[in-house]
Chains A and B, each alone.
Chain A
């Protein structure tokens, strides 16, 4: 117990230095936590995927449509509970920088396959009843101040022309892992316009969402779906929702590697800051350590003394960093539009990683000074001039 007291006393000897070290580690740990949060936000779509949802799209790429007629064929397969479909609408609202997901969906089935989008029953009925009604996420409604009954005008690009949608329902995401920034409108409304203006593009859907009874059958059903349409003009590719989302993330692997690399560098920086402090302290105390050895303290005592001090400082810094992560993540989500990172929150895993890397750094940073002080003989230590 005495040794613990000595450790604490040691940390307080150079108050300014200890304070700066803790602050430095704290800020670095905060940057680490922030980076991890960005990475997890990137994977949010994969994380939020349901195991019982499959996505079927055109095998050439997602920009090519599939015929609506596929729906009934897919629905007949054993193990399939529900089939819904969507089209990516794109379009411009206000100007091109205002980005959020706009989709044409089948109002009858969309919410059956996406139960995590929670809509009050009366609003859902109103949405289903009006041809040009739309449903928006609560986060989106907050960002643009949409209210029930508002008209959202849009300029189409993939589907050219002027479009107007009436907000009839606002969905609440079930929890914070669910995207609250999407907008859906009636697929039939889109199809009707296409039938009149570009008949070649009527009756086409972007992708099918299939809800299956048992997630264990995912691979089997995916294969069966693709087999039905093999050698047709529009071959399909069916995969689990997670794999589909992963495909989008995989393309931007470079950014993920960049972020991970930065996280790695941060740990290096923390190590340098703490290592520097510990080396300096141990160097200044060379004489003291020689005195301790002279009066009979063993090497293990010295080891505990130095390692303990290092760990105390690193844990304090780590704690400060974790405490700072929350405000900085909050600040970032205030500055950046919600629709860029629809799901942005600090995962418990992030905190665990930050805390454990701080602890690890505490141990590693003390190794060099420990080794040095153990190696210095008593005579050399007493003779040492700083």
Chain B
């Protein structure tokens, strides 16, 4: 026969402080564990949303990011001659050659702290290729003018890039004429201008950093890759879907954060498990007479074992719930860091995914199982006579 759950619950009441401390300990571990996974997921989510699966981006094979890729104008023309490149209404390729550079800007509130910001020069079809980029304040930059529009997250975080300001780079000054939003994607953390103006300012001739185009139909990537492999002039370049390209930029950062975080939370959890173990051992020691009585009433050893295991798992689940509850508030937080993939500032928010919740719960139950097992075994193995006599 099973020992009623009520018995377990009543026990928490009689030892509130110790139980509470253990719950807090587990909640702390779960909170940190969840926060780390949420951070890694947030970076990934932002960059995955940045790229579209319908667009293909071409970069130099050896390049680690857009800034270290160079595509000459003649290569650009070769890529445009591939039949899988979609056309705009006026029969021009729906493609943008981007020039991507990094400039330093001063962050608000850090007394002169600077960080890297991506400046992207785009061609006109860029706004058709990336329809989520929309000017929300001020106006669009004029093609052929030294004007730029600034992503929402950059204008929130950096000095001197609000509408009406001028930014100095490339031996010239650029007027900020508008602010755009890109739906929480990586483009929100950039500054955009006319690519021909940037090429001119940086002495780039007709060269681009990357070339992005819309595929003429779905699933044309294989055909495009074949076209690249078959052309000697394109050997040094690689075509990928835009989504995959940006997702890869999140790889290093999200692996780094998860690996470090998990490595450390595992140690944390050992601490918490030991805390739970101490609590459960004490619970067993204090209740020796009770356990004897239960056994004398006819409850089996395995019922006692189950009751103590349940107690431990409930403690850890309550801890997990508290930890997850607190961590879920992190979703409202927007943070930014230098992304190693692009070497520039990226804003993103913590993302709570179902996977993260599951991992946190499994992790907590494991802590409860490990912490509760040995004490529960001790409780189950007490002999009735000795237990009753121990008072």
B268 and A28 contact, CB distance less than 8 A:
yes
Residues in A whose Cβ lies below 8 Å from that of B202:
64
Closest A residue to B24 by beta carbon equals A272
Complex-state Cα separation, A64 to B236, whole angstroms: 24
**In the complex, which residues of chain B have a beta carbon less than 8 angstroms from the beta carbon of A59?**
104
Q: A230 to chain B: closest CB distance in Å? A: 12
Is A34 a contact of B104 with CB atoms below 8 Å? Answer: no
Q: Is B62 a contact partner of A280 (Cβ separation < 8 A)?
A: no
Per the bound structure, the CA–CA distance linking A92 and B113 in Å amounts to 31
Complexed CA–CA distance, A279 and B261 (Å): 31
Q: Are A20 and B277 in contact (CB under 8 A)?
A: yes
The 8 Å CB contact of A60, one of B29, B104, B338, is: B104
- Which B residue's beta carbon lies closest to that of A340? B256
In this complex, what residue of A is CB-closest to B65?
A: A157
Query: Once the chains bind, are A279 and B272 in contact (CB under 8 Å)?
Result: no
A254 interfacial by beta-carbon distance below 8 Å: yes
* CB proximity to A under 8 Å, residues B78-136: 101-104, 110, 113-116
| Chain A residues closer than 8 Å to B113, beta-carbon distance | 250
Write out, one digit per residue, whether chain B residues 246-264 have a CB within 8 A of any chain A CB (1) or not (0): 0000000000010011011
B353 CB to nearest A CB, Å: 18
Asked whether A155 is an interface residue with its Cβ less than 8 Å from the other chain, the reply is yes
Known A233-B171, A252-B337, A276-B279: A24·B70 in contact at CB below 8 Å? no
Are B267 and A279 in contact, with the CB atoms below 8 A?
Answer: no
Q: Indicate with 1 or 0, residue by residue over A307-327, a CB within 8 angstroms of chain B CB atoms.
A: 000000000000000000000
A-facing residues in B18-34 (Cβ within 8 Å):
18, 21-22, 24-25, 28-29, 31-32
Chain B residues with CB under 8 Å of A386's CB are 286
A48 to B260, alpha carbons, bound, how many Å?
A: 24
B104 neighbours in A (Cβ, 8 Å):
59-61, 237
- Among the 9-residue stretches A118-126, A262-270, A344-352, A375-383, the one with 4 or more Cβ atoms under 8 Å from chain B is A262-270
Contact between chains at A157 and B62 (CB < 8 Å): yes
Contacts of A216 in B (CB 8 A): none
Q: Is the CB of A200 within 8 A of B205?
A: yes
Contact with B along A256-293 (1 / 0, CB 8 A): 00110110011011101101110110001000000000
Q: How far is the CA of A251 from the CA of B107 in the complex (A)?
A: 10
Cβ–Cβ < 8 Å partners of A251 in chain B: 115-116, 337-338, 345
Assess A280 versus B275: contact at CB under 8 Å? Given A250-B114, A262-B32, A266-B268: no
Asked whether, in the complex, the Cβ of A273 is within 8 Å of the Cβ of B271, the reply is: yes
Are B62 and A24 neighbours in the complex by a CB distance under 8 Å? no
Q: Is the CB of B278 within 8 A of A276?
A: yes
Interface set, chain A 131-160, CB cutoff 8 A to B: 155-158, 160
Interchain CB contact under 8 A, A90 and B274? no
**Contact across chains for B282 and A17 when beta carbons are under 8 A apart:** yes
Docked CA distance A269–B169 (Å): 50
Smallest CB gap from B60: residue in A? A157
Out of B21, B61, B270, B335, name the residue touching A272 (CB < 8 Å): B21
**CB < 8 Å neighbour of B274 from A27, A234, A258:** A27
A91 to chain B, nearest CB (A): 7
Given the known A-B contacts A24-B274, A160-B236, are A250 and B267 also in contact in the complex, defined by CB atoms under 8 Å?
no
| In the complex, chain A residues whose CB is within 8 Å of the CB of B220 | none
Beta-carbon nearest neighbor of B59 in chain A: A157
Beta-carbon nearest neighbor of A328 in chain B: B267
**From B286, which residue of chain A is reached at the shortest CB distance?**
A386
Would you give the 0/1 interface string for A55-87, flagging 1 where the beta carbon is closer than 8 Å to chain B? 000011111100000000000000000000000
The answer on a CB contact under 8 Å between B275 and A60 is no
**B361 at interface (Cβ–Cβ under 8 A)?**
no
Report whether B171 and A273 are in contact in the complex, using a CB–CB cutoff of 8 Å.
Answer: no
Contact B268 A91 (CB under 8 A): no
B76 within 8 A of A: no
B367–chain A nearest beta-carbon distance, Å: 12
Q: A34, A92, A96, A157: which has the most chain B beta carbons within 10 Å? A: A157
Provide the residues of chain B in CB contact with A200, threshold 8 Å: 203, 205
Q: How far is the CB of B190 from chain A (nearest CB, A)?
A: 14
User: Are B277 and A34 within 8 A (Cβ)?
Assistant: no
Known A-B contacts A200-B203, A250-B114; A276 and B18 likewise in contact (beta carbons under 8 Å): yes
CB <8 Å contact, B102 and A61: yes
Contact yes or no, A276 B271, CB < 8 A: no
- Taking a contact as CB atoms under 8 Å apart, the answer to whether A269 and B272 are in contact is yes
CB distance from A374 to the nearest CB of B (A): 17
A residues within 8 A CB of B279? 276
Determine the chain B residues whose CB is within 8 A of the CB of A275 once the complex forms: 21
A370 at the interface (CB under 8 A from B): no
**B229 an interface residue at 8 Å Cβ cutoff?**
no
Residues from chain A with Cβ under 8 Å of B25 in the complex = 269, 272-273, 276
Other than the known A27-B274, A34-B267, A276-B279, what 16 A-B pairs have Cβ atoms closer than 8 Å? A20-B278, A24-B270, A24-B271, A27-B267, A61-B102, A61-B103, A92-B62, A158-B70, A251-B345, A252-B337, A261-B32, A265-B28, A272-B25, A273-B275, A279-B17, A280-B278
Cβ contacts A to B, 17 pairs, < 8 Å? A17-B282, A20-B281, A28-B267, A60-B170, A61-B101, A64-B101, A90-B68, A91-B62, A92-B62, A96-B62, A265-B31, A269-B29, A269-B272, A272-B25, A272-B275, A276-B278, A280-B278
Across the A-B interface, the 4 shortest Cβ-Cβ residue pairs: A251-B338, A24-B274, A31-B267, A254-B337
Give me the interface of B with A, judged by CB distance under 8 Å: 17-18, 21-22, 24-25, 28-29, 31-32, 35-36, 39, 60-64, 67-70, 101-104, 110, 113-116, 168-171, 202-203, 205, 236, 257, 260-261, 263-264, 267-268, 270-272, 274-275, 277-279, 281-282, 286, 335-338, 345
